[in-house]
Structure 1
Amino acid sequence: MSNILVLGVGPLPVDNAARLHAPGMRTWQIAKLLANRRHEVCVGLINFGEFTSKSAEKNTAHMEEAGPNIRLYHLNYDEVNSPAALATLHNHMDFECCISTTDIMNSVAADIPLHIPLWLDYNGDPFAEKQLQGNVHENDDTLLKQWRMYLKGLACGDRFSTATQPQKNALIGQLGFAGRLNEFTCGEELVFSIPNCSRAVRDMGLPRNFQVKGGYIPSESFMVLWSGGYNTWCDPETLFYALERAMRENPSIYFVSTGGAIEGHDTLSFKKFEDLALASDLNGRFRFLGWRDSEEIPAFYRQADATIVTDRFSYEGELGARTRLNDWLDFGIPIICTEQCELTRELVERDLVHSHKAGDVDGLVAAILKVAAGGSEIKNKTKAAQAYFDKNYAEERVFAPMLAWAETPQFAGDRREDIVAGKAVTGSHTDSQLTHMLGEMLTGSTSPSGGISVLHRVWKRLKRGA
């Protein structure tokens, strides 16, 4: 069995943190699946929001046991020192490969001064996410930095995975841009779609029981639950106006929210929704319970009569995923959602969820009222959705490509030792030249011809609005 370095972002489900995000669930799922196959797994971990030098100063890097065959190495983030620290760790542990997830940790993996096989997982398209973030904050300054970071992974990965098939197609195009679709990789399958399928909430152990109904809301109410962050992709206006109208037509409907603003990423989307709800004459039926300890979440799921998530149209939604849907399917709760991401489209095609189009308030009102009316159709649809998820999103089946690669990790054709050595000697490989050229374009440094790089000039003009 292999000795594997897994890189990711915490907190992890085992941490019982108040804020559990998709990257931590993905990291832990990868680590556990590998450990279950008797690989020795060391997880290099940086917690969500701790990607600045100031946050790194607060913590001391340390190692701890996290279960059979899994050790956690809590790492301080530093663009230069983190890769060096992982290289030192490799000297002690002799990793046979590295599997990394998230764009920032994939950048760290690419910078480790080692030549070992790399599997880089991108759980969502970074540029589509940055587009939304730029829109929410009215600032595109992070786009150039994102390209610089992303190009490292594109140039150095041996295998790649994505959250959806549409994102896989996008990533293949990005690899072509980076010069990785070349003579040496021809015929190799470099990119795999590995959808989110975590059962982390169900598997947390003994959950904390308490009454939501009869405690926070009336015991006879119809509870519509939002769980998780209000991210840049959510549509606070459509969510509020639909809920308010549905509440006026059906007095039993109450909205319960766990989660909220995402510090360091998006606090504005939640505030917009909360302000609308608190200004309503029905504000007593909107209950904001904030971020909860992970062990409390199952109690909310068991008492919810319906779950809800609303997207505005975005390419992030077209390419990405909604991880919270996995939990709702796993717990067998009726789902009201926007028909946008791959999983929602898949479920809508099979008539397994209650959907609406992006921005369609009338459609969302109708979906809420239909589910609140109840009946055998709703129950049967929910059971069928749960069965579909269990059958088609079994973890071992979904992660089979990654698990098979981990048994015998391989370099991509253009990263084999003999090819790399040949490039170093001749300096003539077109792929290497192209990647170097793109790197120069993205640095904003002086180009070989003596002028400022083309891409940097374009970016400056875009920022000026020229």
Structure 2
Amino acid sequence: MSRVVCFSYERMFYPDDKLSGPGYRLWAIATSLTKKGHKVSIAELSHAKDYLKEGISFISWDSIRLKDIQKEFDVAIVPLSAYVWKYFYKIRRIPTLVDLTTPIAVESMAHSIGDSSDFFMHDGVIPTYLALSEGDYFVCSNEMQKHFYTGMLAMLGINTIKNNLIAVAPYAPEKKKPEAEKRKVLESAVGKDRKIMLWLGSLFSWYDYKTLIRAMKDISKAEPAACLVFAGGLNPHIRELTQNNYDEAVSEAKKLGLLGKNIFFIDWISPEDRLCAYEEAMFTVVTSYNTTESQLSYRTRVVDSLNSRVPVLCTDNDDLSKLISSKKMGAVIPVGDAESLIREALFLMKDRKTIERCSRNIEKEIQVGFNIEETIRPIHEFCSKPEKRTAEGCLDFREAIPAMKAKITDLEYIRDDKLATNETLARELAKYDQRFSQVLEDKVRSEEDLRAQIASLRDELSKQAEANLKMREFAGRFRGSIVFPMYRLTSTIGKTGFGRFFQKILK
């Protein structure tokens, strides 16, 4: 068997256990491949620390850690996301399987972030093009997705039919129902003896949560114990894509007077708490609009509900809704039909026998083939004999990608330059601060010396003035004595020629 490295753009279990739908799918692939004998590791962006979980190693997704990837691993699995460039440009040197389950080119059309056209190009189109042009093998989750990506690959000049490069390998429940802990994670929010409808997952723009919230007005009148719980509507990984929708949903529930009574909003919950929540719920709800995204989608939250053998109430606009309808694993309603939603919700709540019948149908479908052990087969086969794609595309639309790469490189240079500049400025400021302190200290010392000199001069002047005063007093007394006339006479004679002659004789 092979050494497989799966790449996750989100941090999965450590430290806060906040998996999104793509994270659950990747984990299911990793654990299933491990059971089939492969040695699996998961490389994470924003990796906190290396650890081991259920025999799977968690490592950092960075070019330094994976510089010898071809020595450590035989094959890579990369989910389609806006971060695929971090793999293909910085790491890829081994055969690579790309999981195309999340159609980001279509999803990015529905989001409105800043300049939506810029978001559509940089987070949708370019990553999809890069993954399709660089990947060696591709898997998706339904036939609609396969047709969608086959057309894209054909536009790149890649013949998928001749080379058998794309297969359907959907996320599916485990054969054995996972065991939930004996805990009530919803009861603390909604109270005891409630009939819980569970919405578990993000409130993205393509979901029709408004019709559901408004329908709860009539559902709660007919069945007072009924309540709707939104768990994790605000996605912590991509808050900017769900914040407005979440706020709108809360506002609508509050306006109808149902918030905290029949409609509740709780935070994102861990994988263990999810299993407990499914055990408490009568059924889950997934309603969406009739859009291209819905037709191409493969809802992880629907599969998770089936994995816990919990019936699903959903709209009839994707492949999984057809499966639920045909196998009687819940209830399917027309898009935007509030009356049908109310009717089917009340029917499922009518008694436990209805729910138990749906659960038995789910179990039966899982055992006959709709399970991860079976659906993962194309991934297992490629990982067992990984090889690089030899058929190159005839067309090359790479003009946008080098520009984007150059922009990213420029931004990295700017960031590094700013960091270096900040460090240099900090060092210079420290030097100037030290110099200023020294100059200030010298100036203070100089002023003290100057004050001492001034004080000394003042003291000297004072003494001189005192001496002068004494001399003047002495001179005054001398002039008034009887000796002074004789002094003046002898002084005058001394200045004459006779006087000077007489002085020589005396000498």
Smaller-chain TM-score range? 0.7 to 0.9
Pairing of 1:52-451 with structure 2 (within 5 A):
62-68=49-55, 70-75=56-61, 82=62, 84-85=63-64, 87-90=66-69, 93-112=71-90, 114-134=92-112, 139-145=116-122, 146-181=124-159, 187-199=162-174, 203=178, 207=181, 209-210=183-184, 212-213=186-187, 215-262=188-235, 263-283=239-259, 284-374=261-351, 376-414=353-391, 431-432=393-394, 434-435=395-396, 438-440=397-399
CA contact (8 A) 1:121 1:161 kept: yes
CA contact (8 A) 1:8 1:102 kept: no
Give the alignment's TM-score, normalised by structure 1. 0.78
Amino acid at match of 2:399: E
Percent identity of paired positions between Structure 1 and Structure 2: 19
Higher helix share: 2
2:39 corresponds to: 40
Is the deviation greater in 97-106 or in 333-342? 97-106
Amino acid at match of 1:439: R
Amino acid at match of 2:240: G
CA distance in 2: counterparts of 1:210 and 1:226, whole angstroms: 16
Give the alignment's TM-score, normalised by structure 2. 0.72
CA distance in 2: counterparts of 1:112 and 1:391, whole angstroms: 42
CA distance in 1: counterparts of 2:32 and 2:341, whole angstroms: 38
3-state DSSP class of the match of 2:269?
A: coil
CA distance in 2: counterparts of 1:5 and 1:293, whole angstroms: 24
Structure 2 spans left out of the alignment, 5+ residues? 405-507
* 2:25 counterpart of 1:26: yes
CA distance in 1: counterparts of 2:352 and 2:130, whole angstroms: 53
CA distance in 1: counterparts of 2:89 and 2:222, whole angstroms: 57
Structure 1 spans left out of the alignment, 5+ residues? 48-58, 76-81, 416-430, 446-466
CA distance in 2: counterparts of 1:296 and 1:141, whole angstroms: 37
Amino acid at match of 1:285: N
CA distance in 1: counterparts of 2:211 and 2:330, whole angstroms: 18
Q: CA RMSD in A?
A: 2.7
CA contact (8 A) 1:356 1:363 kept: yes
CA distance in 2: counterparts of 1:138 and 1:380, whole angstroms: 49
Cα distance, 1:4–1:19 mapped onto 2, change above 3 Å:
closer
CA distance in 1: counterparts of 2:91 and 2:361, whole angstroms: 49
1:53 corresponds to: none
CA contact (8 A) 1:201 1:294 kept: no
CA distance in 2: counterparts of 1:239 and 1:372, whole angstroms: 16
CA distance in 2: counterparts of 1:116 and 1:288, whole angstroms: 44
CA contact (8 A) 1:102 1:122 kept: yes
Amino acid at match of 1:190: L
3-state DSSP class of the match of 1:216?
A: helix
CA distance in 2: counterparts of 1:373 and 1:33, whole angstroms: 37
Offset at 1:108?
3.1
How many residue pairs get aligned? The number is: 399
Cα distance, 1:22–1:370 mapped onto 2, change above 3 Å:
same
CA contact (8 A) 2:139 2:166 kept: yes
The structure with the larger Rg is 2
